[in-house]
Chain A
Amino acid sequence: MPEETIVKDPFKTEEYMINMGPQHPATHGVLRLLLTIDGEIIKKVEPDLGFIHRSIEKMCERDSYQQIVHLTDRMDYLSSHINNEAVCLAVENALELEVPDRVKVIRTIIGELTRIASHTLWWGVIGMDLGALTTYFYGFRDRELINDIFEETCGARLTMNYNIPGGLMFDIHPNFVQRTKDFVKHFKTKLPEYDQLLTGNVIFQKRMKGVGLLTKEDAISFGTSGPVARASGVASDIRKIHPYSALDRVEFNEVLFTEGDSFARYRVRIQEMWESLSIIEQLIDNIPDGDYKVPTKAVIKLPKGEFYQRVETARGELGVYINSDGKKNPYRVKFRSPGFSNLSALNHMAVGSKIGDLVAMMATLDLVVPDIDR
């Protein structure tokens, strides 16, 4: 054998780049990640966004405040009711409009139902991402019941548009209370099943524990919020820091873990579903009587100034920044979306781990791409 053809170091590897997405089953939407890898070890993750950027912020500048509400449920479509609520609260606070108690309670109940619906979908999908297809059907089975309640309430199952500035679009359906109670009763028997099926599974735990570590300092520096931050021990629940609607009159625990790995993020969401059930139970029997909206002017004009309103969606802190110059359209609207900030931590979490673990990290970040792109 001639000397030149002998490979000096047969284990020498080189870095190269591959695309993950935009069409990839684990990205749940059109998110493109540019991975720099050495063998199977990730050296760098660079997100490339904008495949479904609709420039909602620009569209808001030409729309009236009632119309803006309808754009927001196209951001994080799994938290559509809570997104709507954020804009409505911002407008109501700017107008110093006090909505009836009935509205506040209904908004909170449906908000928590939305959170459970989002988390059940996430739970179904995380199992599927890691190779356990059964969870997908269990998650969707229970989410379907919530969607049915929504459909009966306002006609829509996903993009609800149930909130309007000043209250709700319609009153709740006569069946609402009973169906919600039935769901709570049903889901309380199903949630332990989730634990039996997935949480205790050894393979699942091995793929989650110690994967995608995010320390408390990093979680703060990367601006993470929601379950991602709380799994790293950052008390960031807006429902506790700045309670809105009826959340100041209910008791619930802010779920905190300190491990900061994927399994902690998983457990935060499971625990949060229990807390949401508890919030619904506290409110569902005491929906006050009264109007379901207060009249607003046909053309809403906010006073001159800047208004910032935040709410806790299923993914974390959604901020709505409205800069008004006193006209019927806002001068500038900015949505601080939880997914965008959470995504900024992905590169830091993924460097040094394997591609398969990246799927687990993305699943526990719970990315919704329209929320990131806006």
Chain B
Amino acid sequence: MTNNELQKGIEPWFSDLEFTEEGTQFLTLTVPKENLHELMQKLRNEPDMQFDYLFCETGMDWGTSLGVIYHLRSTLYGHEMVVKVHTTDRENAHIDTVCDIWRTAELHEREIHDLFGIEFTNHPNMKVLILPENWEGYPLRKDYVDEINMIIR
């Protein structure tokens, strides 16, 4: 499907979806975090969508909000799109897991949990993956300071 057809197909599902296409080669959809899991399930299972391949999951710190970017592809149809989700609660960031839909997300979400401090709700194994267990702070956040190990320019 082309980006336009994808957008037309997805738009009726929820009321507050936001599509953007500026500055990126993919159709980009921003979804409120309450609807994330349901939307992802539909993207995976709807017969004419079939986004079965989560090829990239990126943690993101936009300054005021934290979030996750999902890059999806359908190996059946070849179409691709990007889904973004935000949370403004930096102290206690929670986003639903998608690892029951794409199993590769299990490791990716643990990495994001370490480096951005986002808890993934319903994740089966939300333990520290990369950092030492007593590490304080979330290194990839923009407000992270480590005066010894970081060179600030």
Contacts from A to B (Cβ < 8 Å): 47-50, 53, 55, 57-58, 62, 218, 220-225, 234-236, 241, 303-308, 317, 319, 321, 323, 332, 334, 336, 340-341, 343-345, 348, 373
Are B130 and A53 interface neighbours, CB within 8 A? Answer: yes
Known: A49-B130, A50-B131, A319-B71. A221 touches B102 (CB 8 A): yes
- List the B side residues contacting A224 at CB < 8 Å: 104
Are A344 and B23 interface neighbours, CB within 8 A? Answer: no
Q: Is B126 an interface residue (CB 8 A)?
A: no
Are A344 and B52 interface neighbours, CB within 8 A? Answer: no
Which of B6-14, B33-41, B56-64 binds A? B56-64
Are B75 and A220 interface neighbours, CB within 8 A? Answer: yes
Are A221 and B103 interface neighbours, CB within 8 A? Answer: yes
Are B104 and A308 interface neighbours, CB within 8 A? Answer: no
Are A305 and B23 interface neighbours, CB within 8 A? Answer: yes
The chain B residue with its CB closest to the CB of A316 is: B55
What are 22 residue pairs bridging A and B, where the CB atoms are less than 8 Å apart in the complex?
A62-B151, A62-B152, A220-B52, A220-B53, A221-B102, A222-B103, A223-B102, A225-B55, A235-B75, A236-B75, A303-B23, A305-B22, A305-B24, A323-B60, A332-B58, A340-B108, A340-B111, A344-B103, A344-B104, A344-B107, A348-B103, A373-B130
Are A343 and B78 interface neighbours, CB within 8 A? Answer: no
**What 1/0 flags go to B71-91 for Cβ under 8 Å of A?**
100010010000000000000
- List the A side residues contacting B119 at CB < 8 Å: none
Report the minimum CB–CB distance from A213 to chain B (whole Å). Answer: 15
- List the B side residues contacting A348 at CB < 8 Å: 103
Are B151 and A222 interface neighbours, CB within 8 A? Answer: no
Are A321 and B56 interface neighbours, CB within 8 A? Answer: yes
The chain B residue with its CB closest to the CB of A234 is: B75
Q: Is B93 an interface residue (CB 8 A)?
A: no
The residue from A55, A241, A308 contacting B26, defined by CB atoms under 8 A apart? A308
> How far does the alpha carbon of A148 sit from the alpha carbon of B106 in the complex, in Å?
41
- List the A side residues contacting B22 at CB < 8 Å: 305
The chain B residue with its CB closest to the CB of A241 is: B78
> How far does the alpha carbon of A231 sit from the alpha carbon of B115 in the complex, in Å?
33
- List the B side residues contacting A321 at CB < 8 Å: 56, 58, 69, 71
- List the B side residues contacting A62 at CB < 8 Å: 151-153
- List the A side residues contacting B61 at CB < 8 Å: 332
Known: A55-B139, A220-B75, A305-B24. A50 touches B129 (CB 8 A): yes
Most buried by A among B69, B108, B130: B130
The chain A residue with its CB closest to the CB of B63 is: A331
Are B104 and A319 interface neighbours, CB within 8 A? Answer: no
**What 1/0 flags go to B18-32 for Cβ under 8 Å of A?**
000011111010000
Are B107 and A304 interface neighbours, CB within 8 A? Answer: no
- List the B side residues contacting A47 at CB < 8 Å: 107, 129
Are A223 and B78 interface neighbours, CB within 8 A? Answer: no
Known: A223-B102, A236-B75, A308-B26. A336 touches B107 (CB 8 A): no
